């Protein structure tokens, strides 16, 4: 017990540092930032795994030791308990008055016999869930020895064993689990193969065959904004992604089903689950080169920068002639000018969308095989032709508008993807995208099952009292019967005294006596 | 409409604070009376219950041994308790009005959480009296409620806002409610443990003052009472941890990710598991386990205040 206690408290203390500095597992960007802000301290902390506390050798050592001691504790106790379950209540102690809740009373001569009294006591105890056994003492006194609450120890063992179950499930499940992120723009679809994921984190035992084949298309992302409460104007209050599932069937056909994904309402598909974790706008942009040929036409996901969805994105036009074109764009869903003349967005929905583009020409640096983020533009080998540092200011476009690029290199169009809407209604002019997390963790169910056992075992163990009770009847000279009652707690049992008193009272009532304490 | 409900709720809230303050004064006057009585009693009555059995499990809370003379009437305690119940009713009114204004359970930001949580804590304090007379914790509980409500209203107040999609879940209701229930029992347990430590010091003649302690249950009895409320709290806390994991799975795609709030829930759970073990470990009964109970409750408070406000994590629901 001392070891278990020590290790439990040590585990509690060891878990603290992981809440004080960011952890790679939960907050990787925070870790990068920490390195930036504390360039001297961070490497030192890193060398003692302060950013990976919960997978560090020292943390693992504590909980592994704890579970070793737990196993070493549970096994002998289980064996002992199985024996106890089969055993009979122990012999009645010679002197009950030393025990807890001791009560004695005397039945007058002619009232009852010790045999009858003990039979009655046995009956009462048995009905109250006690295991009973009769004894005859050395002086001819009769007694019933009773025990109850074996379930308490059972619960305790179930609790501790289920804890081991939770740990094993988490450990094994973790190596079979996988998860990845996928950005899907309205109208587009996604096939569940490794290549389609933007990022993917496989468990140790993952193989590609674990990905169930299916396709998922995003039909629409509906967002509802608060417009009545002035304290929370523009608050998003609902995101609902409508999707179509394409599920291949064994007979070679495909089953097509509509479904929805919401925050807090993930979608089960294949052996994975789809979670809606992020969203934003993906303006559709078309670039034509100097000859009027379409060099680029696509919806580009822009990253939200603030609550009103001012969004930042990068457009890379690799196929334009004579030079490649790069653009850094800001989308303002509901644009409003600031005092300085710059734009800002004051509402997250599309009321007055404006796209502002800084344009560069030159070499995008994407042909050398080095992977580049789609969200950043390397302008080292490029010239700014429109923007703050160029002769031409940034290009500003509203949906459906086309503007020529400076120097006759072509034109850029901010497409309105809903041209048929009523005049002035731009609410669907820019497509939205969602960012889905798609995960599979086969341990989930097992962890849940063991967790329920933990809770059930815990309650059983804490709230079912285990106790022994004895009732003794001895004939006294002159013909009466002396009755004695006492109990013994086995583990925490605050209600023992009351329980003994209760039994004594019921017994006396059945025998027609008055109890004296 | 909403605005009216919100301001009515605030009026009720400040009234509750005022009434609790009155109750607090009554409870401290009660302690003063008790001290005076203990001083006067020529032969101080043997306190508490019959001696505990070998396992230390006897639990009878006779507050004063009645064979020692006239049983004193601690009127202030009863007044204090009645005033507390009144304050609580007003407080519950404040919670309900806020809930109607919100159109949702009133515990989705730090202000509402503090408002509702204190109501549940005081409610549990009132309810346990049906089981055991623990009114001597009145000053502690009302003091706690006054401070918590005052600080939350002054520092955390936010207007009624719609519930962000991340919090629109039945698990918010269950998880948070049960967490508060657990917290209430831990609060009582910490109060009892605190009293237990005071009794121990008095028994060791380390403190002269606080004569009222003579009229309260013995350290042993307090320790057993603390254990009994804390195990109830522990069951709730275990459930909270599990419900949180289920919600995290629904909402973030993983049931456990060592987010700061998850870490602290785990730390608290482990401290109280340690407490339960301590009670069954030789040498750890008594003051040491009492300290664990108090540290555990401090960790609970820390988890709610410092962790919410200053630690980065996914649980950024303070609404501030
Ligand atoms: C992962 C580590 C452990 C945790 C989280 C844990 C937790 C708990 C909890 C919550 C209880 C009270 C509920 C119940 O009785 O079922 C308990 C009781 C108990 N544990 Fe553990 N335990 C751990 C390891 C151990 C180990 C290693 C031992 C063996 C030395 C042990 C022995 C006991 C015993 C004997 C009790 C009953 C105490 C009593 O009757 O009050 N536990 N444990």
A401 CB neighbour count, 10 Å cutoff: 15
Return the HEC string of B271-317.
HHHHHHHHHCCCCCCCHHHHHHHHHHHHHHHHHHCHHHHHCCCCCCC
Helix (H, G, I), strand (E, B) or coil at A96: helix
Ligand 1 atom with the shortest distance to the CA of A163: 1
Kindly state the helix (H) or strand (E) to which residue A154 belongs, with its residue range.
helix A150-176
ipTM of the modeled complex: 0.87
- DSSP classification of residue B253: S
* Higher-pLDDT residue of A110, A42: A42
* Spacing, Cα B137 to ligand 1 middle (Å): 29
CA distance A248 to A383: 49
**What was the pLDDT predicted at B104?**
84
Q: pLDDT at residue A111 above 80?
A: no
- Residue of B261, B268, B262 whose CA lies nearest to B292: B268
Of the candidates B2, B238, B267, which has its C-beta nearest A454's C-beta? B238
Please name the residue that has the structure tokens 């998880």. Answer: B175
Q: Whose CA is nearest to atom 8 of ligand 1?
A: B273
Residue A364's nearest CA partner among A283, A287, A282, A281 is A287
pLDDT at residue A355, as a whole number: 96
| Residue B319 in this model has a pLDDT that exceeds 60 | no
Q: B224 and A229 in contact by Cβ < 8 A?
A: no
Instruction: Identify the pLDDT of residue B36.
Output: 82
Exposed/middle/buried for residue B252 (C-beta within 10 Å: 0-12, 13-18, 19+): buried
Give the nearest partner residue to A494 out of B59, B166, B255, using CB atoms: B59
The backbone torsions φ and ψ at residue A415, rounded to the nearest 5 degrees and listed phi first, read: -70, 140
- The answer to whether B12 and B93 have CB atoms below 8 angstroms apart is yes
User: Whole-number mean pLDDT of chain A?
Assistant: 90
Contacts of A68 (CB under 8 A, 6+ apart): none
pLDDT of amino acid A517: 47
Spatial contact of A281 and A430, defined as CB atoms under 8 Å apart: yes
Shortest CA distance from A272: residue in chain B: B253
Measured between CA atoms, how close is A208 to chain B, in angstroms? 20
Pocket test for ligand 1, best of A4, A68, A153, A162 (most atoms within 8 A of CB): A4
Give the number of other Cβ atoms within 10 Å of residue B208's Cβ.
7
* Ligand 1 centroid distance, CA of A461 (Å): 10
A415 touches chain B (CB under 8 A): no
- How would residue B63 be classed by pLDDT, with cut points 50, 70 and 90? very low
State how far the Cα of B91 lies from the Cα of B80, in Å rounded to an integer.
16
Return the ∠ at Cα B142 (arms to B137 and B143), rounded to 5°: 100
Q: Please, which pLDDT band fits residue A409 given cuts at 50, 70 and 90? A: confident
Q: Which helix (H) or strand (E) holds A93?
A: none
**Contact in structure between B227 and B57 (CB atoms under 8 Å):** no
Which phi and psi (to 5°) does residue A3 adopt? -65, -45
CB contact under 8 A, A27 and B231: no
For the CA of A4, the closest atom of ligand 1 is 27
Contacts B308 to A, Cβ<8 Å: none
Determine the average pLDDT of the residues in B240-254. 92
| Lookup result for tokens 């042993």 | B220
Using 50, 70 and 90 to split pLDDT, how confident is the model at B61? Answer: very low
How would residue A475 be classed by pLDDT, with cut points 50, 70 and 90?
A: confident
User: Which residue is listed with tokens 């949906």?
Assistant: A399
A265-272: average pLDDT: 92
Query: Cα–Cα distance between B189 and B234 in angstroms, integer?
Result: 11
Distances in Å between the Cα of A484 and the Cα atoms of A132, A142, A513, B89 are 16, 11, 13, 49
What pLDDT was estimated at residue A371?
63
- pLDDT band for position A476 (50/70/90)? confident
For ligand 1, atom 36: residue with the closest CA: B277
- Distance of alpha carbon A421 from alpha carbon A452, whole angstroms: 53
Q: Judge whether residue A20 has pLDDT over 70.
A: yes
Interval B27-39: pLDDT, tens:
999 988 888 887 7
In this complex, the residue of B166, B227, B242 whose CB is nearest that of residue A455 is B242
DSSP A262: E
Q: How far is CA A435 from the centre of its chain?
A: 19
| Rounded Cα distance, A106 and A484, in Å | 9
- Show Cβ contacts of residue A67 under 8 Å, excluding neighbours closer than 6 positions: A163, A164, A167
Query: How is residue A366 annotated by DSSP?
Result: -
Dihedral sign of CA atoms B210, B215, B220, B225 in order? negative
State which residue of chain B sits closest to A459, comparing Cα positions: B235
B253:A232 CB<8 A: no
Task: Count CB neighbours of A488 within 10 A.
Answer: 22
Nearest to A15 by CA among B223, B63, B263: B263
Residues of A whose CB is below 8 A from B163: 237
Cα–Cα distance between A268 and B255 in angstroms, integer?
Answer: 16
Cβ B209 vs Cβ B169: under 8 Å: no
Residue A69, ligand 1, Cβ within 6 A? yes
Percent above pLDDT 90 for chain A: 61
| C-alpha–C-alpha distance, residues A96 and A470, integer Å | 8
Among partner residues A2, A8, A30, which is closest to B270 by beta-carbon distance?
A8
CB B31: neighbour CB atoms within 10 A? 21
Cβ contact, residue pair A26, B258, below 8 Å: yes
Q: What is the structure's pLDDT at A27?
A: 83
Cα-to-centroid distance, B118 and ligand 1 (Å): 31
The alpha carbon torsion through A398, A403, A406, A407 (nearest 10 deg) reads 160
CA of residue A46 relative to chain centroid, distance: 26
DSSP conformational letter for A146: E
Contact B53, A487 (CB under 8 A): no
pLDDT at position B320 over 60: no
Asked if the C-beta of A464 comes within 8 angstroms of chain B's C-beta atoms, the answer is no
Structure tokens at A487: 């109990």
| Region of poorest pLDDT, from A324-328, B133-137, B153-157, B204-208 | B204-208
Band (A70; pLDDT cuts 50, 70, 90): very high
Rounded CA-CA distance A56/A431 in Å is 44
Backbone phi and psi for residue A437, each to the nearest 5 degrees, phi listed first: -100, 125
Q: Residue A271: which of A176, A366, A350 has the closest Cα?
A: A176
Phi first, then psi: give them for residue B283, nearest 5 degrees.
85, -10
- Fill in the DSSP letter of residue B67: G
């Amino acid at each position: 017990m001392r070891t278990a206690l020590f290790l439990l408290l040590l585990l509690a203390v060891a878990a603290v540092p992981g809440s004080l500095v960011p952890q790679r597992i939960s907050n990787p960007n925070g870790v990068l930032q920490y390195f930036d802000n504390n360039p001297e301290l961070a490497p030192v902390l890193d060398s003692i795994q302060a950013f990976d506390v919960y997978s560090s050798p020292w943390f693992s050592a504590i909980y592994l030791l704890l579970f070793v001691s737990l196993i070493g504790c549970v096994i002998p106790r289980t064996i002992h308990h199985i024996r106890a379950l089969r055993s009979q209540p122990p012999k009645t102690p010679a002197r009950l008055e030393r025990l807890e809740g001791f009560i004695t009373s005397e039945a007058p001569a002619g009232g009852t016999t010790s045999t009858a009294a003990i039979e009655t006591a046995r009956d009462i105890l048995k009905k109250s869930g006690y295991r009973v056994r009769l004894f005859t003492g050395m002086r001819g006194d009769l007694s019933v020895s009773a025990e109850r609450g074996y379930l308490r120890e059972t619960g305790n063992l179930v609790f501790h064993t289920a804890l081991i179950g939770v740990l094993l499930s988490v450990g094994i499940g973790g190596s079979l689990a996988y998860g990845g992120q996928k950005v899907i723009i309205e109208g587009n679809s996604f096939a569940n193969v490794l290549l389609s994921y933007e990022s993917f984190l496989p468990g140790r035992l993952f193989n590609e065959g674990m990905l169930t084949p299916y396709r998922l298309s995003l039909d629409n992302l509906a967002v509802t904004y608060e417009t009545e409460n002035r304290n929370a104007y523009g608050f998003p209050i609902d995101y609902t992604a409508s999707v179509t599932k394409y599920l291949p069937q064994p007979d070679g056909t495909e089953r097509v089903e509509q479904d929805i994904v919401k925050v807090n309402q993930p979608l089960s598909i294949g052996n994975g689950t789809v979670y809606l974790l992020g969203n934003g706008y993906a303006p559709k942009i078309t670039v034509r080169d100097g000859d009027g040929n379409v060099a680029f036409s696509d919806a580009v996901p822009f990253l939200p920068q603030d609550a009103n969805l001012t969004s930042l994105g990068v457009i890379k036009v690799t196929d334009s002639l004579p030079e490649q074109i790069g653009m850094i764009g800001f989308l303002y869903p509901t644009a409003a000018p600031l005092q300085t003349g710059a734009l800002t967005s004051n509402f997250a929905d599309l009321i007055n969308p404006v796209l502002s583009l800084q344009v560069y020409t030159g070499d995008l640096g994407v042909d050398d095989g080095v992977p580049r983020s789609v969200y950043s533009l390397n302008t080292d080998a490029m010239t700014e032709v429109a923007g703050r540092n160029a002769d031409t200011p940034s290009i500003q476009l509203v949906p459906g508008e086309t503007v020529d690029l400076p120097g006759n290199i072509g034109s850029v169009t901010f497409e309105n993807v809903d041209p048929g809407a009523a005049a002035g209604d731009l609410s669907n002019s820019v497509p939205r995208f969602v960012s889905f997390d798609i995960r599979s963790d086969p341990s989930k169910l097992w962890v849940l099952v063991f967790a329920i056992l933990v809770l059930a075992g815990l309650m059983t163990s804490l709230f079912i009292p285990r106790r022994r009770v004895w009732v003794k009847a001895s004939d006294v000279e002159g013909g009466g019967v002396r009755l004695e009652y006492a109990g013994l707690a086995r583990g925490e049992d605050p209600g023992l005294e009351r329980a003994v008193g209760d039994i004594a009272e019921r017994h006396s009532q059945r025998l027609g006596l008055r109890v004296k304490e | 409409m909403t605005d009216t409900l919100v301001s009515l709720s605030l009026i009720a809230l400040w009234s509750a604070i005022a009434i609790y303050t009155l109750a607090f004064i009554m409870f401290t006057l009660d302690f003063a009376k008790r001290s005076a009585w203990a001083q006067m009693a020529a032969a101080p009555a043997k306190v508490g219950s019959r001696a505990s059995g070998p396992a230390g499990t006897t639990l009878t809370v006779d507050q004063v041994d009645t064979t020692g003379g006239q049983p004193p009437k601690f009127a202030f305690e009863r007044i204090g308790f009645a005033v507390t119940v009144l304050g609580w009713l007003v407080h519950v009114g404040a919670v309900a009005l806020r809930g109607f204004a919100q159109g949702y359970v009133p515990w989705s930001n730090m202000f509402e959480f503090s408002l509702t949580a204190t109501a549940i804590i005081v409610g549990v304090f009132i309810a346990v009296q049906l089981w055991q007379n623990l009114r001597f914790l009145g000053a502690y509980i009302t003091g706690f409620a006054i401070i918590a409500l005052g600080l939350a209203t002054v520092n955390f107040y936010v207007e009624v806002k719609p519930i962000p999609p991340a919090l629109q879940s039945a698990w918010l209701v269950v998880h948070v409610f049960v967490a508060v229930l657990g917290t209430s029992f831990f609060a009582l347990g910490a109060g009892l443990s605190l009293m237990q430590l005071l009794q121990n010091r008095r028994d060791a003649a380390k403190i002269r003052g606080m004569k009222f302690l003579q009229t309260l249950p013995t350290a042993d009895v307090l320790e057993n009472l603390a254990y009994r409320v804390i195990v109830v709290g522990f069951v709730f806390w275990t459930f909270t941890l599990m419900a949180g994991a289920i919600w995290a799975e629904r909402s973030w795609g993983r049931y456990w990710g060592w987010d700061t709030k998850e870490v602290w829930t785990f730390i608290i759970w482990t401290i109280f598991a340690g407490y339960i073990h301590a009670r069954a470990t030789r040498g750890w009964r008594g003051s040491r386990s009492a300290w664990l109970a108090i540290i555990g409750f401090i960790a609970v408070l820390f988890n709610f205040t410092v962790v919410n406000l200053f630690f980065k994590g996914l649980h950024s629901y303070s609404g501030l």
